[in-house]
Structure 1
Amino acid sequence: MSRKEADMKRMDVSDRAVPAAMRRRGVALAVAGALACAHVMQPVSAADQAYPEKPVRLVVGFATGTPPEIMARLIANHFTKAMGQAFYVDARPGAGSTIATAAVARSRPDGYTLMLGVASGLGTGPHVIPSAGYDPRRDLDPIGFVQRGPYYISVRSELPIHDLKSMLAYQKSAATPLVFGSLGIGSVHHLIWELLMAKSGAQFTHLPFGGTPQMVNEALAGRVDLMLETASSLTVPYVKAGKFRYIAMTGEARGAKFPDVPTAREQGFPELESQSWWVLVAPKGTPETIVGKLNAELAKALQSPDAQQLLDSVGGASSGAGTPREVRALIRTEYERWGDVITKANIKVGG
């Protein structure tokens, strides 16, 4: 072999060897980089993926045995079975659920404190009781819907009232104002009457109660003339028995249970459109991965026969858990709407 041929052979070997070495170094660097990234990301993603790793508290602002507390237990039982970890209900009644909501808003956002929230705690309560110290738009992350349903305005059947027009006419000529019952000062059950009085100019006497059973009993005794409630098992039997009469409902369209009852909008009062609603929420900052898991399981929980039966008994219904974005929009709309009504009516029960 000539010297020239030997030099060319050495150059050919070198040219092949250098790229191979560079490729080996590149692969090594890429693997090291991937491992480093995995090491950095693993604590967050692994914790979220493994959730839940310990018992989870589901707070509800009502006493044991009430419909929201029973629903919370149904959801907790489903989560326990589906997610392999204990979910337990913490009933903390009081102040229209604002006490419970405030506690949840201050909890650590790690997915281990949840809440079945309602309109009184998320829509009206912070306005009526400013000392509650939370803003549901800012301090909570929505997970999903639990139920939504319209309200019905009912009257004692012995009164000659069959719709909103005749109710206002009767009130105008009555020697004493008609009495309406509500579930507390500043509750939606109260505020809808404030809207009606503001538009019509009529004045009714407000009598607040701590719960629907007490209000119904007073209506049966003749001391309450008008009520606003969902079509629940606490009122429907008396309507069917002829004790009370539905004269309006607050939904966008007539209800399937009572299709002959006209909406408030049909009767010239679109301002009264409103609904009862329960949602699942968590403290602000709860990881999206956890929120997504809970939303998916909530949708399944609401499909159970027991959940459907309970929702029907409270006059509500579930069309699914929806999305956190949809729940956030509802909370914002309701919070701002009722806040405006409360401000204009100057309603306060706490500092």
Structure 2
Amino acid sequence: MKKYIFLTPAIGNMGGSQMFVSNKCKFLQDRGWKVDVFFYQDFDVVLENLKEYRSNFIKELCYPFYYLTKNIINNIIDLLGNQVCNANYDEIVIETHLYHLAYWGEMLANKIGGIHILYPLEEKTYHLTKKEADFFEYKLKRWECLNGYRKTLLRFMGEYYKKEYEAYIYEANPICSNVVAKIENRCSFPKCDYTVLSVGRLEKPYVKTMLNEIKIFTTKYSSVKFNIIFIGASADGSVEDYIKDLFVKVCNVNIILLGFLFPIPEDLIKQCDVGIAISNSVLASAELGVPTISIDAQDYMALGVYGVTTTNRFLREQEPQIPISDLLEDVYLNKTFYTLNDRTSGMENEVDIALKVHLDFLEKGTHCKTYFDVMSV
């Protein structure tokens, strides 16, 4: 019997990481793994197969371990470890999704004799100390750092990046774009000439830049009636209030805030003329043939129209920096962007294929039961 433990920020609300965890839980359970998910952000759980983990809320996991006393740290590790101490597992894997959770994962693996896989899903850029960089190098060289794209490593390691790390690159997509379904679309919108769609959590750093750029674009074309649809929300509603205030005097714009919507009706997305998103949220509209502007996670400018002028969804390579408003105008005026085909057929099979890559990664590791001295960081 095998055990898989996730340490992740949230299973509630709806976002890319929640969908990824949902997909991977199902994939693992279908193959006989026993799965547990621990989290520290207490939101309503939308995804049905994650509801069984609602009791695994541990608030203290929101803190880097070095903010807490040794007694509290030990209590949390004991609490996590108790989930496996009474069972005889042949293999135990812990997967962590954030920089600070990686240390918790390493301590837990040390206690229960598991394998700790670091799979960073966050979009922040950190400035590591030398000791912190040593920890991530240790994980990388033991084949215990998944999602090791070169761009990810460059961003993550910063000044401590070494060319030799490229020998340990293992690309595995956190597949989470299967949020669209052929279900009845019960959403009705005001009549308009043009519809702009944003998919993604509204707390993300690029959002306010995107909003201001949308305002520039819609103000320039004041004779055009726009619907601006937002699928996603902020935890406290503050960004929604900001959006309403920003557009309150823009008379040619209807703001439509749908919140966390799952699944997203396919027909809703197909009504839209252009999408704007970052990371894997780009795929929700792009895979249905809607021209979708992909945003750079560092400068918040447009990378391009995904699948047409860029293949990147997170960081730019050679693409020019383009203000979002300029690219919105290009898409509005230039119908050549409307050449994408619907690529959603076979999505369920694609999820399994992508997640098999994750499982295959476990075979590359050393499986040596030695661990980094986290307390030395």
Q: TM-score normalised to the size of structure 1?
A: 0.32
Larger radius of gyration between Structure 1 and Structure 2: 1
Pick the structure with more helix per residue: 1
Q: TM-score normalised to the size of structure 2?
A: 0.30
